Amino acid sequence: MSTGLPTVVIVDDHALFRAGVHAELEGLVEVRADAGTVEEAVATILREKPDVVLLDVHMPGGGGVEVIREVARDRPAQRFLALSVSDAAEDVIAVIRAGARGYVTKSISGHELADAIGRVRDGDAVFSPRLAGFVLDAFHGEIPAAEVDPELDQLTRREREVLRLIARGYLYKEIALRLDISPKTVEAHVSAVLRKLQLSSRHELSRWAVERRLVE
């Protein structure tokens, strides 16, 4: 879609970690700036207007969720990729529902991370195998038919298949090959799942959101 290296702002309260990511992404993306606190991050993002913000989930002063909220007021189209040491379900769900377009854990390699940044820049969603597992889990149980909003509260068979393959460790192009669909269609399915994840009122999701005080 866009040309050239994606521009990135790194937000993390650990300077050591920022430096590490910086080094790993050298030559793969263009890191414009980094920030260590919520206020600094908001100011930096609004100033630099990067393609993608690499966002730590846990930070003093409200964490990544707060950064997304603050930035969204002035720059609602800003794209975020969440990066965390935590793989607790409530963290993942909270930051996705706040508006991040993907979630990867900090153990990800530099090349994978650059690939994920590129996809988020192009408006796609990035699901790690673990996130795919969470989503399958959250949409797993039956809910009373009367309460189901089929647009939001259920995954289609195809979406489920795509998520399963992601959870099994398949890359998008391998999924496309396996399901005999185009990689763009795979992207479309994942984006649809992301939208459901953000908008569904399924109680598992609401519960996680409430626990993180997202629903006020």
Partner 1 sequence: MLAGLAARTGIDVAILRVVFVIAAVATGGLALLGYLVAWAALPSMDGASAPLALPGRLPRVRGGGRVAAGVGLLTLSALLAFRELGIWWSDALVWPLVLAAFGAALLWERSRADSTVDQPARADAAPRDPSPTRLTDAYRGVFGVLLVAGAALLFLSSNHILGGLRDAALTAVVVVVAIALILAPFLWRLGRNLASERAERIRSQERAELAAHLHDSVLQTLTLVQKRADDPREVAALARRQERELRDWLADDGHRSAEQSFAGALRRLAEKIEDDHRVAVELVVVGDCELDESVEAVLGAAGEALLNAAKHAPEPGPIRAYAEVEDTGIEAYVRDRGPGFDIGGVPPDRRGVRESIVGRMERAGGRADVRSSPDGGTEVSLAIGRIPARARDSR
Q: Which of 28, 46, 72, 136 binds partner 1 (CB under 8 A)?
A: 136
The pair of three-digit structure tokens given for residue 154, joined into one six-digit string = 């259920």
How far apart are the C-alpha atoms of 30 and 92, rounded to whole Å? Answer: 26
Question: Given the complex with partner 1, which of 34 and 91 has the nearer CB atom?
Answer: 91
Query: Rule CB under 8 A: which of 153-212 touch partner 1?
Result: 164, 167-170, 174
* Cβ atoms of 32 and 8 closer than 8 Å: yes
In the chain, alpha helices (H) = 15-24, 38-48, 63-74, 89-98, 110-121, 129-138, 157-167, 172-179, 183-199, 203-211
CB of 7 to partner 1, least distance (A): 29
Kindly write out the interface string for residues 37-76 of this chain, putting x where it contacts partner 1 by CB under 8 A and - elsewhere: ----------------------------------------
CB of 25 to partner 1, least distance (A): 19
Question: Given the complex with partner 1, which of 76 and 169 has the nearer CB atom?
Answer: 169
CA 171 to chain centre: 16
Q: Are strands 52-56 and 79-84 parallel, antiparallel or unpaired?
A: parallel
* Cβ atoms of 5 and 29 closer than 8 Å: yes
- For residue 56, count other CB atoms closer than 10 A to its CB: 26
Residue 140 found at the interface with partner 1 (CB under 8 A): yes
Residue 152 found at the interface with partner 1 (CB under 8 A): no
CB of 69 to partner 1, least distance (A): 27
- For residue 179, count other CB atoms closer than 10 A to its CB: 16
Candidate ranges 22-30, 61-69, 112-120, 135-143; the one touching partner 1 (CB under 8 A): 135-143
φ/ψ of residue 143, rounded to 5: -125, 155
Query: Rule CB under 8 A: which of 74-113 touch partner 1?
Result: 88
| Interacting residue ranges for partner 1, rule: CB under 8 A | 88, 129-130, 132-133, 136-137, 140, 164, 167-170, 174
